[in-house]
Amino acid sequence: MTDQAQRSESEIPGKPTSASRTTLSHIMTGSDTNLLGTVHGGVIMKLVDDAAGAVAGRHSGGPAVTASMDEMVFLEPVRVGDLVHVKAQVNWTGRSSMEVGVRVLAERWNESTPAQQVGSAYLVFAAVDGDGKPRPVPPVLPETDRDRRRYQEAQIRRTHRLARRRAIKELREKRAAEGMED
């Protein structure tokens, strides 16, 4: 049975991509820097996780926890005085999980030049109930061609994630059966 068929059985109405899309903006200060004087990657990753978590919670209608960060790409350094915009949206949903795509843009706080993309990430969130157990999420309803492309790409990333986990598990089981310790 497909994820879509399982969700339709649960009668949870879908939500359009735009319903939970959000932007978090933050100005970078000296306390955000690394030893090179640029903004620490961990600071950007926290902003990414915060924005993605807000989107996942909005889409699922309740608590959602970070299950994985599939990919975090830093394209350009971020500097003190940059106004960083973290744009996030749900790309794909499963029964209780959601992939959230995030784009990170930066612009000088005191200039009127366009923001430049400085990073991107894909995170997987799991919706949880009060006991921390998985709970169903509404299906995401892509609205544009771009949303539909992101949905299809997210399905590919999910397939790769599951295949990678399966291959690692099989390798570890094989090594254990051969008496090899990790």
pLDDT above 70: residue 8? no
Closest CA to 171 of 11, 122, 163: 163
Tell me the pLDDT tens digit for each residue of 128-181.
999 999 999 999 999 999 999 999 999 999 999 999 999 999 999 999 888 887
Q: What is the pLDDT of residue 182?
A: 64
Residue 10: per-residue pLDDT: 55
Mean pLDDT, residues 90-103 taken together = 98
Whole-model pTM: value is 0.88
The DSSP annotation for 94-117 comes to -SSEEEEEEEEEEEETT--SPPEE
Q: Are 140 and 151 in contact (CB under 8 A)?
A: yes
Tell me which residue has tokens 């366009």.
114
Digit-coded pLDDT (tens) for 58-73: 999 999 999 999 889 9
